[in-house]
Amino acid sequence: MKAASRRRKRIFRHVRTNLLILLAFLVIGVACYHVLRIDLLKNAKTLGTSLAKSYAAEERNNLTVYETLITFGTEAIDWQLQEESDSEAVQLWISMYFQMLYDVLGVGTVDPYAVLNGKIFASNPWEGMEDYDVSDAVWYLGALAADGNVIFTNVYADGVNGAPVITVAQKCRNSDAVLAFDIFLEDFQLHSNMLDLPEGASFYLCDTEGNLIYLQTTVSDDQDELDAYVKKLQSQIQVGELGNL
* pLDDT digits 0-9 by tens, 152-178: 999 998 877 888 899 999 999 888 899
- Confidence check: pLDDT of 142 > 70: yes
Q: Enter the pTM of the model.
A: 0.69
With beta carbons less than 8 A apart as the criterion, state whether 133 and 114 touch. no
How far is Cα 177 from Cα 78, in angstroms, rounded to an integer?
8
- pLDDT (average), residues 136-143: 92
Centroid of chain to Cα 236:
16
SS3 of residue 178 by DSSP: strand
